Amino acid sequence: MKHYGRSVCIFLSATGIAFAHDPQPPMAFEQHPLEQISRHIYIVQGTQALPGPESRGFMNNPSAVVTDNGIIIIDPGSSAEIGRQLLAKLSDVTDKPVIAVFNTHVHGDHWLGNQGIREIHPEVPIYAHTRMIERIEAGEGEKWIQLLMNMTEGAIEGTRVIGPNIGLSGGEVLSLDGITLKIHHTGHAHTDHDLMIEVVDDKGMFFGDIVTSGRVPNSDVPQDASFKGSITAIKAMLNADVDIYIPGHGRSGGREIPETTLRFLETLHSSVTHHFNRGLEAYEMRDEVISDLAEYQDWINFNEMGRVINFVFQEVENENF
């Protein structure tokens, strides 16, 4: 275990990617039920724990939209194994084939399960933002495999990079087997290429990691995010005709899910901006900003707030020059 911890720390330092520990017990994918949350939408609610050998890397919310003649999968998880297991769970609901896969963004806990889907459905189209495709082609997928291999002590072994093959840019309206999907992209938010997917028929919205429930948003990879852009994205989607909101991590629900994330982000950005205008450096304002966010202190990754504040400070500084 000592060697494992050291190797993970070295890798995280080299990649700039980090996760914080949380107290929830980690469980592997097969221990989580497939839940139906609307007429067509099914979700496996993920643990929020640090990816490790116990969870076999599982931590997101793999989901499916089940149509009359097929399955649309959104963010199939962090390994080939999880992709296969998602299909196994869905086989209890329908015997129809997968007709499309969507990846919301490049962080590997959301899309490395593509391999498990393509093994069974080799011709299935995989959609993502064109920028995600570019980043995978530049080698980012391999970095995520190595990261998760280290963190899970090899539990995702055999997983390969199977990236998306159809690029989107936002604004598309797709009709798949009678289901209408609106594809939203409002600019740089959790990453520079997030897709938010609106299931019009069910009034459902998949936010990817722009919204997380009970977890500090953008805290795992803050260097990839625009905090102000995340605010813009959430506000835009709150104007959509939607009743059900599915975050990238944490429980799904009504408007309170994105509204809570929005309130956190607005308080954070406002506090950092206020203290920046007072002439304080990031390290000098840390305690005051954290005090302004005291109501969220029980959220996952709140112990990462010092690091998050540093990145918000850089963003505010760039806005002012």
pLDDT at residue 16 above 50? no
Q: How far is CA 45 from CA 148, 223, 313, 317, in A?
A: 19, 26, 33, 37
145-169 average pLDDT score: 97
| Span 136-146, average pLDDT | 98
Q: Return the pLDDT at 24.
A: 55
pLDDT of residue 303: 94
Q: How far apart (Å, rounded) are the C-alpha atoms in residues 206 and 181?
A: 10
Is residue 58 over pLDDT 90?
A: yes
Q: What is the mean pLDDT of residues 262-281?
A: 98
CA–CA gap between residue 108 and residue 98 (Å, rounded): 21
Residues 6+ apart with CB under 8 A from 300: 20, 22, 24, 48, 214, 215, 216, 219, 249
- pLDDT > 90? residue 208: yes
| CATH number given to 2-319 | 3.60.15.30
Rounded mean pLDDT, 131-150: 98
Instruction: Note the pLDDT tens digit of each residue in 96-115.
Output: 999 999 999 999 999 999 99
